[in-house]
Structure 1
């Protein structure tokens, strides 16, 4: 009897339109995440940043969500806040305007409701686009599993809080899908929106350059039309302009040419007692390797070795791993571009895992093996890591060491 019920259920699932299946997976995942948030809230205490018995809405508005709310309600400061030493303090210039104001618009003045709704809907749409992006590469079934890993992954809580990542990933996946199909026209509208949603669009400029080179190298087998060359070059220039424009805007409004970079560097003083006064590419990860080696009781050189091994491992996976190669060249080029961007601009700390979410297309590599036990095992690991992330970043949340 049970076997017949299971068989009928599986047949019904197979006949369900793929859009509905993705929506069901996403809805079930959100219910699980809500349960995790409720458990974290129940175990919260006065030592937590959120206090004892916080409401789910408190979590939705926690951490960086407060900065986006500040942007929506108060805008950006015309004078940079500084400490007694004259160093720029943390301020709203580190947060882009699109998500903040879209949440205000959608919420009809109730920013919190608008922010959660934008994140929820963006996550669902991102799942649909991810399936569309991966299906021609790894097959429909594997693409659906990749969606399940994404919707239930370690960072899935971001679909239910006031962070811009959900919207940015949606825009990014659409952009990658358009590039992979050589449909460049819509990117002229999409890239500026993406660029003013959250930092990272400069990585897309590098990706477009590498995409253009890759198409040039195989032009004898796959013709490269002159109009496509024009599009790729023009879009690369546009993306670079958008990527640097926020720095110019911050400088013009505040009268401080380095306003944006100084704002970003202000967060490093939470970790380093002597951060550099100026931005130096790649210094963040080098200093971060030294810092974390010290925290773990190791010499600085051990941190450098660990960093080198991580970089080498990522490079090997993108170049040689069979499951990653199945995803196609464009996804691998984007992943390499974004990882290089992070190495150049970021200081590794508790937000590192969140900043890896633009690598979402790599979820397809986890779904390539067909063994049923393996796929269910990966899904279980995703859920366990999600619970751990929510518990640490929201349930405990005592210090700046636990910032999502």
Structure 2
């Protein structure tokens, strides 16, 4: 084929692609979002299958497993145990009395749904958990689009949903982990909060609190949001904001939200109720573990088994900083991270997300700083910061920029799956968890 013919073929191909894009742009929004999400999951599945071909000896199955075995490892095995065996009434301990790894570290809604689906259909537990994860991920990205659509145009919201779908750790949305279910419930709760449907958000928040440990930062976000919205009333009543001449003494009905719209009496009381319900929900799983085992620290003892030492707020970040950057720069690293994150929160694209979504991101990062032991699993725990995907889409409307972000995310999926999901024993034993 000569050069002229090759150029003509390339033009024809691109014209067909452009025509297909124009036709898909006329599809309903849910079909556009869902189709792009499923395409992203297909790409991730191809990466999983390619990595499985290179998988050697591991703790779970023979080398070179098939796709379904390959995605049912790591925490997927713990969720499977919670589904089939439930949670231990007595915490397992070693010979010296130290608590060992057990199912109490894994929240109950995901395995409970898996048990219900397996009971109704007769399918294997691993298959039921995988199906729930896939459906939850699809539903989550649809809800995320609706949330983003409140803040941006259709095209920008669609790109934000694509960024979430292709995020470097997005492959976890198609494996038997609770991340996809938690993402769905979190996105739904945030959508209801932004729309000010606080009463409807209460049951969603309770379910979210029992899917993964996101209840504490969510309760903090709602509590701070209430104070933020109620400040005009509180300020006038307690003398923090002097009333102008002729201004009546405000009751709760006169409370103004700090945003552009005003909050009514019912909305503020509902917001306060959501804060209370979320706070209760955040403590439900540790309380259930206490009630079943008789040990008030059952949950925290179990959680700290994986980090190898007791929980000391903030300290793990400095320890990790010293390990990575040395004794001087390591102590400064957490402060540099906080400063960089503060600048990000004040950037114009992120400010456009609105008060609720920015406050959620701040509270969640604050929660990670207080309680998280930074390690390779930290990448996966960044998924609840999904509102920043819309901020990334708002940086530029250039298709070249947005397409480059997607390509880089897909390349980083390769890194995440090959480096962290696939098992490769370290010299000292074990492997870095995904």
Bin the TM-score by the shorter chain.
over 0.9
8 Å contact kept, 1:393–1:403: yes
Q: Work out which structure has the larger RCO, using CA pairs closer than 8 Å and 6 or more positions apart in sequence.
A: 1
Give the whole-Å Cα distance in 1 for the aligned partners of 2:90 and 2:16. 66
With over 3 angstroms needed to count, the CA separation of the structure-2 counterparts of 1:401 and 1:301, relative to structure 1, is: farther
Q: Which blocks of at least 5 consecutive residues in structure 2 are unaligned?
A: 1-10, 233-255
Which residue of 2 is the match for residue 206 of structure 1? 220
Of 44-53 and 356-365, more deviation after overlay is shown by 44-53
Which one of 42, 48, 52 corresponds to residue 37 of structure 1? 48
Deviation digits for residues 22-42 of structure 1, max 9, x if unmatched? 111011111111100111011
Give the whole-Å Cα distance in 1 for the aligned partners of 2:265 and 2:107. 35
Which residue of 2 is the match for residue 351 of structure 1? 377
> How far 1:401 moved relative to its partner?
4.0
Q: 2:306 is paired with a residue of what secondary structure?
A: helix
Which residue of 1 is the match for residue 154 of structure 2? 140
Which one of 56, 79, 102 corresponds to residue 90 of structure 2? 79
8 Å contact kept, 1:251–1:257: yes
Which one of 315, 340, 350 corresponds to residue 283 of structure 1? 315
Normalised to the residue count of structure 1, the TM-score between the two structures is: 0.92
Which residue of 2 is the match for residue 96 of structure 1? 107
Give the whole-Å Cα distance in 1 for the aligned partners of 2:432 and 2:70. 14
Which residue of 1 is the match for residue 245 of structure 2? none
Once the two structures are superposed, the pairs formed by residues 141-220 of structure 1 within 5 Å of their partners are: 141-217=155-231, 219=256
Please say if 1:403 is aligned against 2:394: no
Please say if 1:131 is aligned against 2:142: no
With over 3 angstroms needed to count, the CA separation of the structure-2 counterparts of 1:100 and 1:47, relative to structure 1, is: closer
Give the whole-Å Cα distance in 2 for the aligned partners of 1:202 and 1:283. 19
Which residue of 1 is the match for residue 129 of structure 2? 115
Once the two structures are superposed, the pairs formed by residues 388-399 of structure 1 within 5 Å of their partners are: 388-399=415-426
Which one of 313, 329, 338 corresponds to residue 355 of structure 2? 329
Give the whole-Å Cα distance in 1 for the aligned partners of 2:390 and 2:424. 32
Please say if 1:382 is aligned against 2:409: yes
8 Å contact kept, 2:99–2:302: yes
8 Å contact kept, 1:331–1:361: yes
Of 4-13 and 32-41, more deviation after overlay is shown by 4-13
Please say if 1:61 is aligned against 2:75: no
Q: 1:45 is paired with a residue of what secondary structure?
A: coil
Which residue of 2 is the match for residue 223 of structure 1? 262
Q: Which blocks of at least 5 consecutive residues in structure 1 are unaligned?
A: 270-274
Which one of 291, 305, 308 corresponds to residue 332 of structure 2? 305
> How far 1:302 moved relative to its partner?
2.2
8 Å contact kept, 1:50–1:397: no
Which residue of 1 is the match for residue 237 of structure 2? none
Give the whole-Å Cα distance in 2 for the aligned partners of 1:16 and 1:91. 47
With over 3 angstroms needed to count, the CA separation of the structure-2 counterparts of 1:385 and 1:395, relative to structure 1, is: same
8 Å contact kept, 2:210–2:284: no
Give the whole-Å Cα distance in 1 for the aligned partners of 2:48 and 2:105. 27
8 Å contact kept, 1:119–1:159: yes
> How far 1:403 moved relative to its partner?
0.8
8 Å contact kept, 1:48–1:395: no
Q: 1:356 is paired with a residue of what secondary structure?
A: helix
Give the whole-Å Cα distance in 2 for the aligned partners of 1:332 and 1:197. 22
What do you get for the CA RMSD once the two structures are aligned? 1.8
Please say if 1:316 is aligned against 2:343: yes
Once the two structures are superposed, the pairs formed by residues 196-275 of structure 1 within 5 Å of their partners are: 196-217=210-231, 219=256, 222-269=261-308, 275=309
Give the whole-Å Cα distance in 2 for the aligned partners of 1:314 and 1:381. 21
Deviation digits for residues 106-155 of structure 1, max 9, x if unmatched? 23351111111111111111111111111231211111111111111111
Q: 1:351 is paired with a residue of what secondary structure?
A: helix
8 Å contact kept, 1:201–1:239: yes
